[in-house]
Amino acid sequence: MNIRPIKPKDNQVIKHILQTDLKHFGLDIPGTAYFDSNLDKLNEFYDAQDNRAYFVVENDQGKVVGGAGCAEFDLDNGIAELQKIYLDSSAQGFGLSYRLIALVEDFAKKAGYKQLYLETHHNLKAAIHVYIKSGYQKLAGPIKNSDHSGAMDGFFIKTL
């Protein structure tokens, strides 16, 4: 498996993986990343600023099978958001989520962030397990309102 920064050709693949996964868990609803306006141009969104990044995973045949990224969330407090960490079912169970999270955390730290925050849903049990095992602490609620705070019910943060 190879992990690299997102390219324009990856946008539709990541969109498909994300939407397939969310639909599988009944989260193809307003307020989730399923309807994120940046899905068709993820590379442009993440490349627009030096304090954002998105990484994709390619399998041994060079096919993109997932990704994860981060972008600013609360700049005044040095907080970035871990975003859009999704893997195709063919790539699950190989520890790739942990590798992606570690890479995003390393990027976030180098970009000057002090913490990484994330919003998730209780239906995403495997993801929550990964977040907790990766050292994220559960919060009682969102640290501030976001586009997804209304649909999400799990909030986590990690000091870098």
Q: Measure the CA angle with vertex 12, ends 10 and 15; round to 5°.
A: 105
**Residue 55 to residue 85: CA distance in whole angstroms:** 9
| Domain that includes residue 142, residue range | 2-159
3-state helix/strand/coil string of 47-116: HCCCCCEEEEEECCCCCEEEEEEEEEEEHHHCEEEEEEEEECHHHCCCCHHHHHHHHHHHHHHHCCCCEE
- Write the CATH number for 119: 3.40.630.30
Q: What is the pLDDT of residues 70-126, one digit of tens each?
A: 999 999 999 999 999 999 988 888 889 999 999 999 999 999 999 999 999 888 888
pLDDT digit string (tens) for 140-151? 888 876 655 567
Give the C-alpha separation, 158 to 81, whole Å: 10
Looking at residue 1, what is its pLDDT?
Answer: 82
pTM of full prediction above 0.85: yes
Encode burial over 91-113: b for 16+ CB neighbours within 10 A, e otherwise: beeeebbeebbebbbebbeebeb
The structural domain count of the chain equals 1
Helical pair 125-133 and 96-110, crossing angle rounded to 10 deg: 50
